[in-house]
Structure 1
Amino acid sequence: MRGSRVAALLAGLTAALTLSACGVPPSDVIQAGAPASGMFSPDPEPSAPTVIPLYFLHNGDLAPYSRKVGDPGDIGAVVRLLFRGPTTSEAVTATTELPRLTDTPDVAISGDDTFSIQLPEGVPPLSHLAMRQLACTVAHVTRPFAALSADANQDGATAAPPVHAKRSPGHTSVQVLGDGWTMKQSDDSCPDPLQP
């Protein structure tokens, strides 16, 4: 029994010497305020969909059709939507001169508000109306004209442009590059997006 007490005492003394040799000075309890709690990160505000006009043809004339988009500044996404053509509900009154593309076009913008669209190989030159569809649509890409109205259809189209819409200011042009051809069109003759 005496041997086990001595062994326990030696073990305790060895542990105390080992801990004191760490160089950590003894201290009292330090008061540091409230106990730590879990990190709280507020949910980011979801971005509200925005309505911009995509220009299709109505009875052969250029006309704006309101479409909701998540990021109106995403030039490529808006151009892809335009090339996909009218939605099912829009197709009742809308047509397009733009061809269906097999690959995604490359889209960029220069400092002088010229949008450059490189089409995939094999796409023939676009018609004048198709160029106007592109120029008028991209004129509104970085400057959306309204918040999403409550009467939006499930396929992304709205019945009519909202009343508080504004025409985007400035001069925009689009340059389309194809296989051995280049075309340029400005937004000078675009219909007002407030027109039904």
Structure 2
Amino acid sequence: MKGARGTALSAGLAAALTLMLTACGVPPSDVIEAGEPASVVRHPSPTPSVPVVVSLYFLDDGALTAYPRTVGDPSDLGSVVAQLFGGPTTGEAVTATTELPRLTDAPDVTADSGNLVSIKLPQGVARLSRPAMLQLACTVAHASGPFTVLPADAQRSGAPATPPVDAQRSPADTSVQVLGSGWTMTQSADSCPDLPQP
């Protein structure tokens, strides 16, 4: 008896709902096919960048000297400059010193489409010395060019890869412009020492 009442109640509700929708101007219709159900397209994860060794220039008995550092993203020039301002590591400090000040905030680094890199320092930083400007210019000159990553098979076999011609450009083409509080200095990299050959 209960089952018959439930079925009658359901049928009555369906009829009432249809009557209400029709009275509101909504015409009855059959099931509408709308195509395939929605699906999620998963894009492959971006390829992680391969760590690359760059040269940070510190002073060894006053002479500009390249110290190798590994960076995770070689295209992030701001990170390279921030590491330089961070000074020598404990191991490097055995021979390396720096004329660059420790910064309270990271500098703002921008590179134009040519060979000029601008570095805006936080407020209150005094004018830099010539050795400090050369540290920046030489580091940026050697870090701002295209980077070559060995193909996976060459990395396994240990065979050296020949870098593209544009990766071998002279660092002397690069200039650094440093903007401080009320002062601006520019330094070319034309007097930078060559990187040591592996």
When normalised by structure 2's length, the TM-score is 0.67
Distance 1:64 1:140 in 2: 10
Q: 2:132 aligns with which of 130, 133, 142?
A: 130
Structure 1 residues 5-35: Cα deviation after superposition (integer angstroms, max 9, x where no partner): x959989999xxxxxxx989989xxxx9xxx
Over the aligned positions, Cα root-mean-square deviation in angstroms equals 3.8
Residue in 2 aligned with 1:86? 88
- The alignment of Structure 1 onto Structure 2 pairs a total of residues equal to 179
Report the CA distance between 1:94 and its aligned residue.
Answer: 1.3
Q: Which has the higher contact order (CA 8 A, sep 6+)?
A: 1
Report the CA distance between 1:167 and its aligned residue.
Answer: 4.8
**SS in structure 1 at match of 2:143:** coil
Residue in 2 aligned with 1:142? 144
Aligned-partner residue type, residue 65 of structure 1:
Y
Aligned-partner residue type, residue 71 of structure 1:
D
Aligned-partner residue type, residue 86 of structure 1:
P
Identity %: 54
Using a 3 Å threshold, how does the CA distance of structure 1 residues 168 and 122 change in structure 2: closer, same or farther? same
**SS in structure 1 at match of 2:113:** coil
Using a 3 Å threshold, how does the CA distance of structure 1 residues 80 and 10 change in structure 2: closer, same or farther? closer
**SS in structure 1 at match of 2:196:** coil
**SS in structure 2 at match of 1:55:** strand
Aligned-partner residue type, residue 99 of structure 1:
P
Distance 1:108 1:53 in 2: 19
Distance 1:167 1:97 in 2: 28
Residue in 2 aligned with 1:74? 76
Distance 2:176 2:14 in 1: 84
Structure 1 residues 93-152: Cα deviation after superposition (integer angstroms, max 9, x where no partner): 21111111122222222333211112122222111111011001111333255659xxxx
Using a 3 Å threshold, how does the CA distance of structure 1 residues 126 and 91 change in structure 2: closer, same or farther? same
Q: Are 1:107 and 1:118, in contact at CA under 8 Å, matched by a contact in 2?
A: yes
Residue in 1 aligned with 2:51? 49
Structure 2: unaligned runs, 5 residues or longer:
17-25, 151-159
**SS in structure 2 at match of 1:139:** helix
Using a 3 Å threshold, how does the CA distance of structure 1 residues 109 and 46 change in structure 2: closer, same or farther? closer
Q: 1:107 aligns with which of 100, 106, 109?
A: 109
Distance 1:146 1:92 in 2: 30
Structure 1: unaligned runs, 5 residues or longer:
15-21, 149-161
Q: Are 1:52 and 1:145, in contact at CA under 8 Å, matched by a contact in 2?
A: no
Q: Are 2:74 and 2:147, in contact at CA under 8 Å, matched by a contact in 1?
A: no
